[in-house]
Amino acid sequence: MSLPGTYGVMAEFDSPTALVNATRAAHEHGYRKLDAYSPFPIEELNDVLHLHKNKLPLIVLIGGILGGLTGFMLQYYVTVIEFPINIGGRPLNSWPSYVIITFELTILFAALSSVLGLLALCGLPMPYHPVFNVPRFAMASRNRFFLCIEAADPLFDAEKTSEFLETLAPQEVSKVAN
């Protein structure tokens, strides 16, 4: 483990290929608490970091089902129980005319849960994060690619991890203050 006050060590790369190769090397070296930062999504990083599965589809499915139930129950309750109107003896539970609003609320709830789920799974909003303490990190949203090995990793050692990152031919290696 490392000194308190260190979040990790960060290496900077200038191409997505270099980032993917470095991330794979770090993963094969045994590091697990690491994250790659890039200005656009890189599919290969999902392979390297085993990120193919997440819980978002399940959250959206539950949201959609809840929305559909809400839509139908709302209309059923209002037209059958709360405010029944008999028009020419037609059935109160006229479900075919409930289809549209049931559908709309399904979509609405599913969309809301996908956005809220996205924020929750990413831990956003996050007003402070240590990676922003590296001045060069502002380029991560432009044209630079970063790999950060975190101090929380059992293999982490400020000196050795920096030396390891230097072997991956980065542009620059810097310490990330906490």
Partner 1 sequence: MPEDHDIVTERPAPHEIIAPGYTFGSVTDQIASVVLTRRTPIFWFACFSVSIVLLSGFLLAVTVLLAQGVGVWGIRMPVMWGFAITNFVWWIGIGHAGTLISAILLLLNQQWRNSINRFAEAMTLFAVACAGVFPLLHLGRPWLFYWLFPYPNTMGVQPQFRSPLVWDVFAVSTYATVSLLFWYVGLIPDLGTLRDRTQNRFGRYIYGIFAQGWRGSARHWSVYETASLLLAGLATPLVLSVHTVVSFDFTVAIVPGWHSTFFPPYFVAGAIYSGFAMVLALAIPLRSVYGLQGLITDKHLDNCGKIMLGTGMIVAYAYIMETFTAWYSGNTFEGAAIWNRMTGPYASSYWFLITCNIVLLQVGWFKKVRSSPVLLFIWSIIVLIGMWLERYMIIVSSLAQDFVPSSWGIFHATRWDWLTYTGTIGLFLFLFFLFIRALPMISIFEVRTLLPQAKVEEEAGR
The contact set with partner 1 (CB under 8 A) reads 15-17, 20-21, 23, 35-46, 49, 51-52, 54, 56-57, 60, 64, 74-75, 78-79, 82-83, 85, 94, 97-98, 100-101, 103-105, 107-108, 110-112, 114-115, 117-119, 121-122, 124-129, 131-132, 137-143
Question: Which tokens hold the place of 101?
Answer: 């609003």
Distance between CA 101 and CA 47 in Å, rounded? 41
Cβ-based nearer residue to partner 1, 163 or 167? 167
* Segment holding 17, helix H or strand E: helix 16-28
Q: Name the maximum alpha-carbon separation found in the chain.
A: 84
Cβ-based nearer residue to partner 1, 42 or 173? 42
Distance between CA 23 and CA 19 in Å, rounded? 6
Residue 4: CB minimum distance to partner 1, A: 22
Residue 159: CB minimum distance to partner 1, A: 25
Residue 22: CB minimum distance to partner 1, A: 12
Residue 77: CB minimum distance to partner 1, A: 9
Cβ-based nearer residue to partner 1, 59 or 161? 59
Cβ-based nearer residue to partner 1, 56 or 157? 56
Nearest to 8 by CA among 35, 26, 48, 30: 35
Residue 29: CB minimum distance to partner 1, A: 17
Residue 91 CB contacts under 8 Å (≥ 6 apart), including other chains: none
Cβ-based nearer residue to partner 1, 35 or 157? 35
Tell me the HSE value of 14 on the side-chain side, using a 13 A CA sphere.
4
Question: Which tokens hold the place of 139?
Answer: 């380029």
